[in-house]
């Protein structure tokens, strides 16, 4: 078990990651179950004294999913006084989850920086637990259990950010497999937004942005009844991410 | 001069505020000039141990501008290792800007949370300096001098956020006087976006969102040649701020 001190880690600061994945038309999030408890939590960690804060989030994501170079964005610092909860620390000590030597560390007031990540579900072979948790598991967004501290609030805000992102910027590069059909992409958008979209409008708008490339192949190598496969044009996609005239979907 | 310790303030964390104002068709930001130097800085401060982080930013804004209840939004935590600059602290000590007793405090690694605020220029009677600065002054955004530490980068990112905000959400409630003409509102949008907008399109879109109310009066009480005065419908404006189907301008 790791030991903490002000020397090795930035005091009073943590990062928490809301990791979204998309699978079988369901939006899921990656959660950790704390050892010997029924308590679930977002993957998170502390920031090393020798580490950029964004790199701490990248490290957490890599340690839990094995993935790098994926869409990861900070969206809010949670800095209210109310999030400090000594009872929670005491439960963690009681369950032997944290060392007694680390009590002063955990009893500090922490502010936490929320990040959200979009990962291609199929690429995460085995989500990996950290030292305070038993296992790590995908949960459908509609079935998430109660989370420790203010993690439910952090998740809810991340979900709002994702909806905002999908309304005003292209989304999909990190959530879809390399090749996909238009109905599959539409399904991603519908799942995130929680509403149906008109098929023809969706296709027309998506193609108008120039971020998709037709592969010339059909799904499952089927004949002309099967939908066309597309892939993202990563260069145009990157430009659209920056553009202030992208009108979303 | 204030004295700092880990007991009274949250360690290693500061807030910095980019305060935008709009006047005579020019977008301006509020800057502080550090005592006895040519160095300019964004208004900022530390977070009290007994204070929510967002409340620290509200306090900084109030102390510098006298204003409360205005649009203030955190947009990014700046947490890179590179922003730590001991030479800067030494310069502050040399100039007598900070107490010797506070050297350990200022020599910490700080991460800073960036906020941006939109204020109605005319309401800020006298911008107020803090204890490390000589005076506080509005600068046209295009004429901002070099700023201390990474403050130029923080300002640049805040400006991007403002452009993003104006593209996807209504803007103006905190930047315009209570009543204004359509050309004045258009001028605000054009100034922020740095480009001309079509007059008729602008008017049509703005009216379509239902966030404006015609006052029935004309500018300067003039006769029928003068443009109409509008005011914001604050309830509809608040809804539009939340809406994910607002398409901007």
Q: Say if CB B15 and CB B44 are below 8 A apart.
A: yes
Quote the DSSP letter at residue A133.
E
Query: Which of B150, B82, B162, B147 is closest to B115 using CA atoms?
Result: B162
Pair (B88, B122) in one structural domain: yes
Chain B residues whose CB is inside 8 A of the A164 CB are 168, 244
| ipTM (interface pTM) | 0.85
Inform me whether the C-beta atom of residue A193 falls under 8 Å from chain B C-beta atoms: yes
Element at B208 (helix H, strand E): helix B199-208
Contacts of A238 (CB under 8 A, 6+ apart): none
Pair (A141, A184) in one structural domain: no
Q: Report residue A204's pLDDT band, with 50, 70 and 90 as the boundaries.
A: very high
CA separation for the pair A103, A192 (Å, rounded):
40
Determine, for residues A52 and B113 on separate chains, whether the beta-carbon distance falls below 8 Å: no
- Render the burial of B91-126: b for 16+ CB within 10 Å, e for the rest: bbbeeebbeeebeebbebebbbbbbbbbbbbeebee
Nearest-neighbour CA in chain B from A22: distance (Å): 21
Nearest to B77 among A53, A164, A244 (CB): A53
Supply the CATH number for residue B191's domain: 1.10.10.10
Task: For B76-95, write each residue's pLDDT tens digit.
Answer: 999 999 998 888 888 888 88
Inform me whether the C-beta atom of residue B32 falls under 8 Å from chain A C-beta atoms: no
Inform me whether the C-beta atom of residue A247 falls under 8 Å from chain B C-beta atoms: yes
If one compares B99 and A19, the residue with the highest pLDDT of the two is A19
Nearest-neighbour CA in chain B from A216: distance (Å): 33
Chain B residues whose CB is inside 8 A of the A247 CB are 247-248
> Which residues, listed in sequence order, are joined to residue B68 by a DSSP beta bridge?
none
Q: Report residue B146's pLDDT band, with 50, 70 and 90 as the boundaries.
A: very high
Query: Which of B127, B163, B164, B168 is closest to B42 using CA atoms?
Result: B127
Mean pLDDT, chain B, integer? 87
**pLDDT at position B241 over 90:** no
Q: DSSP of B127-174, one letter per residue?
A: ----TTEEEEEEEEGGG---BSTTHHHHHHHHHHHHHHHHHHS---TT
What does the pLDDT average to over B100-114? 91
> Which residues, listed in sequence order, are joined to residue B73 by a DSSP beta bridge?
B116
Pair (B90, B186) in one structural domain: no
Given B159, B189, B213, the domain boundary residue is B159
A163-167 long-range contacts (CB < 8 A, ≥24 apart) are A163/A192, A163/A193, A163/B244, A164/B168, A164/B244, A166/A192, A166/A193, A166/A248, A166/A249, A167/A193, A167/A248, A167/A249, A167/B168, A167/B244, A167/B245
Q: Say if CB A106 and CB A98 are below 8 A apart.
A: yes
Q: What percent of chain A has pLDDT over 70?
A: 93
Q: Which domain covers residue A198, as residue numbers? A: 180-242
Pair (A123, A22) in one structural domain: yes
Establish if A39 belongs to a structural domain. yes
Pair (B14, B66) in one structural domain: yes
Determine, for residues B52 and A80 on separate chains, whether the beta-carbon distance falls below 8 Å: yes
Q: Report residue A114's pLDDT band, with 50, 70 and 90 as the boundaries.
A: very high
If one compares A70 and A30, the residue with the highest pLDDT of the two is A30
Given B92, B124, B159, the domain boundary residue is B159
Pair (B33, B108) in one structural domain: yes
**pLDDT at position A249 over 70:** no
CA distances to A80, A82, A91, A149, B1 from A85, in Å: 11, 7, 10, 7, 33
Provide the pLDDT for residue A37.
86
Chain A residues whose CB is inside 8 A of the B11 CB are 6, 11-12
Determine, for residues B79 and A53 on separate chains, whether the beta-carbon distance falls below 8 Å: yes
CA separation for the pair B42, B153 (Å, rounded):
11
If one compares A15 and A129, the residue with the highest pLDDT of the two is A15
Give me the helices (H) in A17-101, please.
53-65, 86-94
Pair (A32, A140) in one structural domain: yes
CA separation for the pair A161, A157 (Å, rounded):
6
Establish if B174 belongs to a structural domain. no
Inform me whether the C-beta atom of residue A153 falls under 8 Å from chain B C-beta atoms: no
Establish if A157 belongs to a structural domain. no
Chain A residues whose CB is inside 8 A of the B113 CB are 77, 79
**Angle formed at CA A172 by CA A167 and CA A173, multiple of 5 degrees:** 130
Query: Which of A241, A123, A242 is closest to A172 using CA atoms?
Result: A241
**pLDDT at position A10 over 90:** yes
Pair (B139, B213) in one structural domain: no
Query: Which of B23, B19, B9, B14 is closest to B42 using CA atoms?
Result: B19
Question: Which chain B residue shows the shortest CA-CA distance from A81?
Answer: B52
Provide the pLDDT for residue A1.
44
Task: For A176-193, write each residue's pLDDT tens digit.
Answer: 888 999 998 998 888 888
Q: Say if CB B64 and CB B115 are below 8 A apart.
A: no
What does the pLDDT average to over A165-172? 83
Establish if B249 belongs to a structural domain. no
Task: For B27-62, write each residue's pLDDT tens digit.
Answer: 999 999 988 888 899 999 999 999 999 999 999 999
Given A152, A170, A193, the domain boundary residue is A152
Nearest-neighbour CA in chain B from A229: distance (Å): 29
Query: How many separate domains does chain A show?
Result: 2
Pair (A113, A199) in one structural domain: no
Inform me whether the C-beta atom of residue A13 falls under 8 Å from chain B C-beta atoms: yes
Query: Which of A113, A112, A132 is closest to A32 using CA atoms?
Result: A132
> Which residues, listed in sequence order, are joined to residue A113 by a DSSP beta bridge?
A15, A77
Determine, for residues A77 and B53 on separate chains, whether the beta-carbon distance falls below 8 Å: yes
CA distances to A189, A205, A242, B33 from A202, in Å: 9, 5, 21, 52
Nearest-neighbour CA in chain B from A221: distance (Å): 37
> Which residues, listed in sequence order, are joined to residue A30 by a DSSP beta bridge?
A138
CA separation for the pair A153, B8 (Å, rounded):
27
Provide the pLDDT for residue B111.
97
Nearest-neighbour CA in chain A from B79: distance (Å): 5
CA separation for the pair A170, A193 (Å, rounded):
13
**pLDDT at position B15 over 90:** yes
Pair (A95, A190) in one structural domain: no
Establish if B165 belongs to a structural domain. no
Query: Which of B138, B115, B121 is closest to B29 using CA atoms?
Result: B138
Determine, for residues B77 and A11 on separate chains, whether the beta-carbon distance falls below 8 Å: no
Pair (B80, B125) in one structural domain: yes
Q: Quick one: tokens of B223?
A: 């006769």
Pair (B91, B212) in one structural domain: no
Establish if B164 belongs to a structural domain. no
Establish if B175 belongs to a structural domain. no
A46 burial (CB, 10 Å; 0-12 / 13-18 / 19+) is: buried
CA separation for the pair A163, A160 (Å, rounded):
5
Determine, for residues B167 and A168 on separate chains, whether the beta-carbon distance falls below 8 Å: yes
Task: For B162-183, write each residue's pLDDT tens digit.
Answer: 988 888 788 888 788 889 999 9
Determine, for residues B81 and A50 on separate chains, whether the beta-carbon distance falls below 8 Å: yes
Provide the pLDDT for residue B242.
73
Q: Quick one: tokens of B131?
A: 């204890």
Supply the CATH number for residue A15's domain: 3.90.79.10
Hey, of A53, A243, A244, A248, which one would you mutate to test binding to chain B, going by the most B CBs within 10 A of its CB?
A: A244
Nearest-neighbour CA in chain B from A75: distance (Å): 7
């Amino acid at each position: 078990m790791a030991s903490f001190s002000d020397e090795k880690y930035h005091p009073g600061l943590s990062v928490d990651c809301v990791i979204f994945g998309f699978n079988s038309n369901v939006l899921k999030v990656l959660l950790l179950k704390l050892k010997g408890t029924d308590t679930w939590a977002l993957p998170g960690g502390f920031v090393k004294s020798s580490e950029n804060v964004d790199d701490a989030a990248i490290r957490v994501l890599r340690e839990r999913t094995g993935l790098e170079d994926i869409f990861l964005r900070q969206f809010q610092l949670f800095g209210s006084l109310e999030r400090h909860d000594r009872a929670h620390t005491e439960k963690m000590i009681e369950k032997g989850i944290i060392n007694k030597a680390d009590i002063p560390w955990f009893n500090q007031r922490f502010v936490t920086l929320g990040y959200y990540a979009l990962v291609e579900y199929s690429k995460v072979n085995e989500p990996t637990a950290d030292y305070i948790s038993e296992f790590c598991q995908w949960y459908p967004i509609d079935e998430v259990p109660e989370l420790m501290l203010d993690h439910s609030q952090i998740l809810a805000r991340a979900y709002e950010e994702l909806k905002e992102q999908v309304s005003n910027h292209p989304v999909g590069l990190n959530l879809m497999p390399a090749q996909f059909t238009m109905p599959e992409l539409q399904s991603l958008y519908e799942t995130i937004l929680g509403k149906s979209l008109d098929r023809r409008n969706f296709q027309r708008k998506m193609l108008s942005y120039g971020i998709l490339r037709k592969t010339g192949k059909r799904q499952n190598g089927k004949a002309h009844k099967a939908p066309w496969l597309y892939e993202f044009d990563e260069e145009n996609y990157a430009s659209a991410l920056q553009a202030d005239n992208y009108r979303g979907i």
